Amino acid sequence: MAKKIVLAYSGGLDTSVAIKWLMEKGYEVVCFMADVGQGADTKSAKKRALKIGASKCIVGDLKKKFVDEYVFPALKTGALYQGKYNLATALSRPLIAEAMVAVAKKEKAVAIAHGCTGKGNDQVRFEVTFHVKAPSLKVIAPVREWELTTRESEIDYAAEHNIPIEQTKKKLYSIDVNLWGISVEGGKLEDPCFEPQSDTFINIKPLENASSKAQHITVTFKNGIPVAIDGKKYGSVELVNRLNLIGASHGVGRVDMIEDRLVGIKSREVYEAPASEILYAAHTALEELVLDREVRKYKNFLSERYSELVYYGLWFTPLREAIDAFIDKTQEKVSGEVVLKLYKGNVIVCGRKSPYSKYKKALATYGEGDVFDQKLAKGFIDLWAMPYRA
Ligand code: ARG
């Protein structure tokens, strides 16, 4: 009997070719397809995998786990890699890799494989998780190893081996989709001066076509987690999907950045993440109201570190878990409502309220009912300046 390998299969060209390539290396290939809300046709992709020769193709619905255990913790932390990228792809990798390890154990596989290139971050995120969760599994990265160095040669290989594919020799961009975001890279975007054209807009409306009417929405949070839109409760996956639709219609959630990959390459990335942009704005606005100054500051410092851990593939580490525990403590009072206005790519916070608000009108007001004793300010400032006075 052939040794078994579990392959992270997307239905795309690389991983379709990888099935055959691994079979030729003597493996029985079990495919694992993760549904993280990419909206692709998993049924026909599964059919194709079996036709190519995979002995099984398991589809795992990971959407709820993704949002509850990966996306919302990152939201609570406020993590944005290099201040801009919400880590949509990065967060999905440890989740998918962990699910693959479970399949590998169940199937008694001896090896595990993914379709990432040797230039990206995703190979690191997959493999670190494999090493942490199943150190004895052999890891194979066909795309890093094979002689098929161009897209054309992969397509020729597919034709020679009767591999059914949907792709053509021309491919405009490399696109990764899940329900927290879409990343578009490669092709013409490799020129950092080239303005992304309409063919790079996947779900978001370009500003020219975005709704010309502003829309107000209210998002309700409980312990740092969004639970309702306009007073109506939603499950976590539905809530994100709904905000993606609303935000996209207003052109909200585009990011265009030069990003530093872990392997030392700068790359030009275009992202779409409407729900994320709305929720980060709303969550931050609520924290401004309920957290004290020192916690906010300390939390900001941790959120940057957290974004690096996620980006660098270090999800399953003691530091990430410890930061999550700290963050959960900070979120105990992050409950309340935020009103936002969406208009032509903008997310504008218009109002916020919470039963735990630390805002005291009687202290802040310049009008009636002021209780702040302004005479105390002089002594405060005298002492504040004392160490620096000549
Ligand atoms: N640069 C992003 C990251 O490393 C996205 C990579 C997504 N991959 C893709 N084929 N577009 O997380």
What are the pLDDT digits (tens) for 299-352? 999 999 999 999 999 999 999 999 999 999 999 999 999 999 999 999 999 999
Domain ranges of the chain: 3-172, 176-353
The whole-number pLDDT of residue 40 equals: 86
Average pLDDT value for residue range 375-382: 97
The whole-number pLDDT of residue 227 equals: 98
CA of 221 to the centre of ligand 1 (A): 29
Q: Bridge-partner residues for 33, per DSSP? A: 59
Ligand 1 binding pocket (C-beta < 6 A) is: 89-90, 121, 174-176, 183, 185, 259, 269
pTM of the model: 0.96
Is residue 171 scored above 80 in pLDDT?
A: no
Average pLDDT value for residue range 252-258: 98
Query: Closest residue (by CA) to atom 4 of ligand 1?
Result: 121
What are the tokens at 291?
A: 């957290």
Helix axes 274-290, 293-311, angle to 10 degrees: 150
The whole-number pLDDT of residue 69 equals: 98
**Tokens 């969004």 label which residue?**
226
The whole-number pLDDT of residue 235 equals: 98
Residue 172 banded pLDDT, cuts 50, 70, 90: confident
Residue 53 banded pLDDT, cuts 50, 70, 90: very high
CATH topology agreement for domains 3-172 and 176-353:
no
pLDDT cut 90: percent of the chain above it:
95
Long-range contacts of 319-323 (CB under 8 A, 24+ apart): 323/77
Q: Which atom of ligand 1 is nearest to the CA of 121?
A: 4
Rounded to whole angstroms, what are the CA distances from 25 to 3, 29, 339?
Answer: 10, 10, 57
Average confidence score pLDDT of the chain: 96
CA of 176 to the centre of ligand 1 (A): 7
pLDDT by residue (tens digit) across 98-123?
999 999 999 999 999 999 999 999 99
Q: Which fold has domain 176-353?
A: Argininosuccinate synthetase, chain A, domain 2 (3.90.1260)
Is residue 273 scored above 90 in pLDDT?
A: yes
31-60 as b/e: b if 16+ CB within 10 A: bbbbbbbbeeebeebbebbeebbbebbbbb
Looking at the chain, the number of H-run helices and the number of E-run strands are 14, 14
CA of 143 to the centre of ligand 1 (A): 16
Is residue 125 scored above 90 in pLDDT?
A: yes
Residue 151 banded pLDDT, cuts 50, 70, 90: confident
Lowest mean pLDDT among 141-150, 217-226, 237-246, 280-289: 141-150
Is residue 25 scored above 80 in pLDDT?
A: yes
Residue 388 banded pLDDT, cuts 50, 70, 90: very high
What are the tokens at 370?
A: 């002021």
Average pLDDT value for residue range 121-134: 98
Contact criterion met (CB below 8 Å) for 8 and 113: yes
Please choose from 269, 270, 271, 308 the residue to mutate so as to test ligand 1's pocket, defined by most ligand atoms within 8 A of CB: 269
pLDDT by residue (tens digit) across 187-239?
999 999 999 999 999 999 999 999 999 999 999 999 999 999 999 999 999 99
CATH 3.40.50.620 holds for 3-172 = yes
Is residue 170 scored above 80 in pLDDT?
A: no
What are the tokens at 104?
A: 């590998």
The whole-number pLDDT of residue 166 equals: 78
Task: Report, as residue numbers or ranges, the catalytic residues.
Answer: 14, 93, 122, 174
CA 297 – CA 78 distance, rounded (Å): 12
The whole-number pLDDT of residue 52 equals: 95
CA of 224 to the centre of ligand 1 (A): 27
Please choose from 86, 117, 122, 178 the residue to mutate so as to test ligand 1's pocket, defined by most ligand atoms within 8 A of CB: 122
Average pLDDT value for residue range 39-60: 94
